[in-house]
Structure 1
Amino acid sequence: MAALKSDVKAFIVQALACFDTPTQVSQAVKQEFNVDVTRQQVEQHDPTKRAGVNLAKRWVTLFEDTRKRFREETADIPIANRAFRLRAMNRFVEKAETMKNIVLAMQILEQAAKETGDMYVNRQKKADADEEPVVPTAVSVHVIDARKRDAEPERSPG
């Protein structure tokens, strides 16, 4: 078992604190640092596991701080949280690229752009003191029943 540099250890500890599995972390270390580490070696950096009971205090502190921040950022349901979804999309894009599936990778990247662009978040910009407040306008929707010939559009209430 090779001695790991501090930056690799920090990467491992933080990934474990974010609930990545030892296998996922081992693969990520290989990709990021080109260093082979076993799942067992990774598990020694998790203070919540029996293998990590002798972990140095500085790494335990880093783990606890990272885990605390991660939990604060995530809601009770991880999939409902942007950070969780973006991490998953990142893994999916990497997998799609290794499979040489560029179309899928581009679709995932588009979804990630939507996530970071607040497309699915119900937020409105705060108006400056000098500007008029932004008031949403009503949109008229016309519904046409394709089964009726020459049907007049039905107007939705609103």
Structure 2
Amino acid sequence: MARLKKAEKIFIVRCLAQFMSISDVISDFKEKFNIDVSPQQVEYYDPTKAASADLSQEFIDLFNEARKEYINQPLHNIVGANDIVQLQILSDLLVSKKGNVVMSIKLIDQIQKIVKGHYEKKFEITGKDGGAIKTETEHSQRPAMYTPEQLAGMSAQELSRLAINGKL
């Protein structure tokens, strides 16, 4: 069992506060500090586990503060939370997995789910004299038939999307 310095202990506590698994903490710790630690040694620094019964209050407070910061961070700090980023990643995967039909179908389905979310808008309308709120969903519909001029004005990506969805 390696003897850890305070900075190394803080690293472990912060990783665990961010919901990292013990095996991920071990591999990140090995990569950063070039020191091998056991799963039991890492688990000791997680105040949510029984193994940390005699963990110092300093590390418990650090864990709680780090977890609170992690949970309360703005959503835009997470790269994958952006629809455009998700679509780009899925598009890159689709190109690389072109030979795998099952995976391609799953990727196309996921792309469609993200894209269709952009076309749905919900409006809340109050009833007469402030009555019950009625929710209506509005779908933006594309025309069923396209003119040659409309098709000429579309990008290759839009044309392929229409073909994939069976609307061309």
Provide the TM-score with structure 1 as the length reference.
0.50
| Structure with the largest fraction of helix | 2
Provide the TM-score with structure 2 as the length reference.
0.47
Larger radius of gyration: 2
